[in-house]
Amino acid sequence: MAIPIINDWEKYFTDNHEGLGSSYERVVINNLLKRTADRYGVKSVLESPSFGFTGISGINLLSLADLGIRVYLEDHDEHRLDLIGKLWSELGRPLQTAYNRDYRKLDYPDSSIDMYFSFSALWFVQDLPCFLQEVSRVTAKVIFISVPNITGLGYKMQIKDYSPQKYPDLCLGNIDRKSIIFILGKLGWKLREAGWFDCPPWPDIGMAKEDLLSKWLPASLGSLIRKRGSAVRRAPLSILDHYAGKDPDFSARMMKHNWLEKFAPRVWKKYWAHHYHMVFDRDQK
For the chain, which domains are there? 3-282 (3.40.50.150)
Per-residue pLDDT of 230-272, as tens digits, reads: 544 456 789 999 999 999 999 999 999 999 999 999 999 999 9
The packing angle between helices 219-231 and 209-216, to 10°, is 170
CA distance 55 to 27: 13
8 A C-beta contact, residue 177 and residue 132: no
Q: What's the pLDDT at 227? A: 53
Q: What's the pLDDT at 206? A: 62
Reported confidence tier of residue 225, pLDDT bands at 50, 70, 90: very low
What is the arrangement of strands in the sheet containing 139-148, beginning at the earlier edge strand? 96-99, 70-75, 44-47, 113-119, 139-148, 275-282, 189-197
Residue 52: pLDDT over 50 = yes
Instruction: State mean pLDDT over 92-107.
Output: 96
Q: What's the pLDDT at 8? A: 81
Instruction: State mean pLDDT over 103-107.
Output: 96
Residue 224: pLDDT over 50 = no
Q: What's the pLDDT at 232? A: 41
Per-residue pLDDT of 162-218, as tens digits, reads: 888 888 888 889 999 999 999 999 999 999 999 999 999 988 876 555 455 455 455
Q: How far is CA 136 from CA 108, 133, 254, 262, in A?
A: 11, 5, 34, 32
8 A C-beta contact, residue 276 and residue 177: yes
